[in-house]
Structure 1
Amino acid sequence: MMNVPLSQVKLGDKLGEDVLTPHGGVLFHKGKIVTSRELDIMQAFLVSAVIVDSPIAAAVKPKGESQPESNQSKQAVSSPLQDEYEKTFVLLKRAFSQFNPGFPFPILDIRTQLEKLLQQLPSYNVLTFAPRSFNEEDYWLHNSVACAMTSYLIAQWVKLPQKDWMQVALAGLLHDIGNIRIDRSILMKPTKLTAEEQEEIQRHPLLGNQLLKNIAALNDGVKLSALQHHERVDGSGYPLGLDSSLIHPYAKVVAIADIFHAMTLNKSYRKGASPYVVLEQIQSDSFGKLEPSYVRIFIEKVTQFHNGTLVRLSDDRVGEIVFSDAMHPTRPWVNINGEIINLSIERQLHITEVVR
């Protein structure tokens, strides 16, 4: 291994040590094979020299040739994750449609299927996952399944005890169960709700809590999440206007997952928003609305491993995320045909769509 000026680094060289940014972040890890893409990025970061190992030119494609498809680009095709997601969705839809207080709720079947889904989470990407098939009338059910997956991850990230993780996932899955008692024409209305309709919608947390209260397999956190997922830490939420000290930790987790998926999933009357735009909205809402420590960790985690993701900017250009700045996690650096766009500086631009 030797220290080589960047101008002398050749395509196919293998990095012998991590390449760091001026602020100490890891730009490329030891063992990375240098292609023209890596050279462009290192030049943009003003890297002057790197430690290189032996060249492996055969592993490199010339600039302009297609690169191997990323894991993220494969996520939309059939996969065990998608299969278990669809089974969970179908089971939840059937359970909700057949719900009757006179008959037992199939909570054990739901939990068993949810466990199978959660086993696939190593391949779940919060920012890029989308259901393989999606009927917009079933939006709130898709929201529930997605919330279960994301809430399970957040519970781990914020270091809730392991015994709580499955219950938090169930809280995410069942948080909107009160909607089965809401008039469907109101629930699916594509135009602005009247004051009376809004009041009806805001009954669903109370209704959900009532529906879950006698299910012994659920702990109090799950039942309170159905009641409290629209409460806000400053007391501005509903239905009870509770402040942070009275909101259960499960409900604080589910609130973040619910807002994220509610804004990024398609509805009958509007297309889902860019996950990066939504993250910025959640970040701003954390000041006085959402649990700020949970929001910070959520944003850090979901933006941490997305180098290589193709995104569309607000000026309609498509580029590849090449670096995520820990200080500005929702505004990464994007490579567009060799030009590096630092979105933390180019504030007039933002990511509107994750292409793959």
Structure 2
Amino acid sequence: MTIKSVSDLKAGVKLTQDVHTPLGGLLMQKGKILLPRDLDVLKAFMVQQVDIEGAEGDGNKIPAVKTAGQKPSLLFVDPDESPEAQEQSFKKDLPLHEEYDRMLTLVKSCYQSAIAGELRIYEVRKQMEHLMEHQKEYDVLKFAPRMTNRNDYRYHNAVLCALSSYKLAQWLGLPSKDWIQVAFAGLLHDIGNVRIDPLLLNKPNRLTGEENEEMRRHTTYGYQILKNVAAINEGVRLAALQHHEKVDGSGYPLKLDGSKIHIYSKIVAVTDIFHAMTLDKFYGSAQSPYLVLEQIQLEAFGKLDPVIVQTFIQKVTALHHGTKVKLSSQKVGEIVFTDSQHPTRPMVSIEGQIINLMQQRQLHIEEVIS
């Protein structure tokens, strides 16, 4: 072990001790092999010296990244991973996308059959189970459907809410028996929209008072449709009814306070807002996922369950160091550090310069590229 000045470090050395920020936050973990951008981060945090392995890292250099079928620098491969495992990491999103597309097609069909009072729930459940087999491959911020158009917005929102609600249920520590049911809650929360006039659903300008009241009825319509459906529990039905309720009692249709809102409904309320705002639709364009997370964080004060909101934000923004992003300035860079106190405002490296989004509030992450 050698203590070395940061100014003398070279990329490829291995840390033998954790590195902390001046305020005590964990900056880099023991065992990390430093990349060129990591040296910039250390300097940006004014870290003076670190503990490294050997005089020059004992030959621990940055491993070559196998980029077959991928653009260079999209990700950094774990040096301890076998070549076979590295190869699989580039292919792993394909089955997820295939199952996602099958689920999307089935949801379209089911929404149509629900108009006639028929919901092919066992077929839906079987496909849901196939989709969730690839849940570990799903990343809320990075995943993007292969084909989207504004006509399919509601179906994409349903499938994405299923995926994200399942993951959020796990993060919250719900029993495993609830996970697939929470996914159903995400998938079917807006099923009541099949009874709303499509012209009203897609109206681009402000709704009249009467139209707004009719739109709000999709919650009760949804509960009625699901009331006698087998293979789902009462939490799924209540999510259709309650996903627009607010913990301060200001929501609809029943103006329930937080103590009376089902946990599934609280979970779906968060994932629905996130995906509704980050998807293109008839009456609006997709917004930056990071700005949407900031808006959801504001909603945690009296509108959404604060524990669920904080869990969602902390988890979806975690482990994204090295993620390529586009800023509102249209410049592309990589996330190099995320402060747990301000997870939507990470530090981004652009052409060797560290941009601290906490300090430069006029900028934000516009798009997660990879």
Counterpart for residue 44 of structure 1? 44
Moved over 3 A (4+): 23-26, 56-61, 74-78, 100-103
| 2:108 counterpart letter in structure 1 | K
Structure 1 residues 301 and 90 mapped into 2: Cα distance closer, same or farther (>3 Å)?
same
* Aligned partner (choices 67, 89, 92) of residue 104 of structure 2: 89
Work out whether residues 149 and 280 of structure 2, in 8 Å CA contact, stay in contact via their aligned partners in 1: no
- Matched residues in 1 for 2:38 and 2:74: separation? 17
Would the alpha carbon gap of residues 84 and 45 (structure 1) be closer, same or farther in structure 2, given more than 3 Å must change?
A: same
- The aligned runs of 1:120-269 (5 Å cut-off) are 120-269=134-283
- Distance, in Å, in 1 between the alignment partners of 2:229 and 2:313 is 33
Tell me how far 1:288 sits from its aligned partner. Answer: 0.7
Structure-2 change in CA distance of 1:181 and 1:102 (3 Å): closer
Shift in Å at residue 257 of structure 1?
A: 0.4
**1:329 and 2:333 equivalent?**
no
1:16 aligns with 2:16: yes
Tell me the CA shift for residue 57 of structure 1: 3.9
Alignment partners' CA distance in 1, 2:61 and 2:171: 40
- Segments of structure 1 that go 5 or more residues without pairing to the other structure are none
2: distance between equivalents of 1:159 and 1:57? 39
Structure 2 CA distance for partners of 1:85 and 1:60, relative to 1, 3 Å: closer
Q: 1:75 to 1:231 in 2, by over 3 A?
A: farther
- Which aligned pairs between 1:309-324 and structure 2 lie closer than 5 A? 309-324=323-338
Deviations 1:115-151 (A, max 9, x none): 1111212111111211111121110111010000111
Give yes or no for contact 1:308–1:322 (8 Å, CA) kept in 2.
yes
CA 1:237–1:320 in 2, change beyond 3 Å: closer, same or farther? Answer: same
* Change in CA separation of 1:157 and 1:82 when aligned onto 2, cut-off 3 Å: same
Q: Distance in 2 between matches of 1:75 and 1:223?
A: 38
Residues 100 and 315 from structure 1, CA distance in 2 versus in 1: closer, same or farther, beyond 3 angstroms?
closer
SS across alignment from 1:79: helix
CA–CA distance in structure 2, aligned partners of residues 55 and 192 of structure 1: 64
TM-score (normalizing by structure 1): 0.92
CA RMSD of aligned residues (A): 2.2
Over the matched positions of the two proteins, sequence identity in percent amounts to 52
Q: Distance in 2 between matches of 1:18 and 1:67?
A: 29
TM-score, with normalisation over the residues of structure 2? Answer: 0.89
The residue number in structure 1 matching 2:81 is none
Return the match for 1:338 from 338, 352, 356. Answer: 352
Measured after TM superposition, the shift of residue 172 of structure 1 is 0.5
Please state if 1:56 is matched with 2:60.
Answer: yes
Amino acid at match of 2:249: G
Whole-Å Cα distance in 1 between the matches of residues 170 and 282 of structure 2? 33
Q: Which runs of 5+ in 2 are unaligned?
A: 66-70, 77-88
Deviation of 1:100 (Å): 5.3
Shift of 1:199: 1.6
Structure 1 residues 299-344: Cα deviation after superposition (integer angstroms, max 9, x where no partner): 1111111111222223333221111101111111111222212222
Residue 114 of structure 1 and its aligned partner are, at CA, apart by 0.8
Does the CA contact (< 8 Å) of 1:34 and 1:60 recur in 2? no
Q: Give the secondary-structure state (helix, strand or coil) at the position aligned to 1:232.
A: coil
Q: Note closer, same or farther for the CA distance 1:322–1:348 as it changes in structure 2 (3 Å cut).
A: same
CA distance in 2, matches of 1:238, 1:57: 58
Deviation at 1:243, TM superposition (A): 1.1
Q: Distance in 2 between matches of 1:149 and 1:209?
A: 21
Q: Which amino acid aligns with 2:99?
A: E
Q: Distance in 1 between matches of 2:344 and 2:90?
A: 21
Q: Does the CA-based 8 Å contact 1:313-1:349 persist in structure 2?
A: yes
CA contact (8 A) 2:270 2:304 kept: yes
Aligned length: 350
Q: Distance in 2 between matches of 1:60 and 1:17?
A: 24
Find the counterpart in structure 1 of residue 369 from structure 2. 355
Q: Determine the structure 2 residue equivalent to 1:296.
A: 310
Amino acid at match of 1:328: H
Partner of 2:3: 3
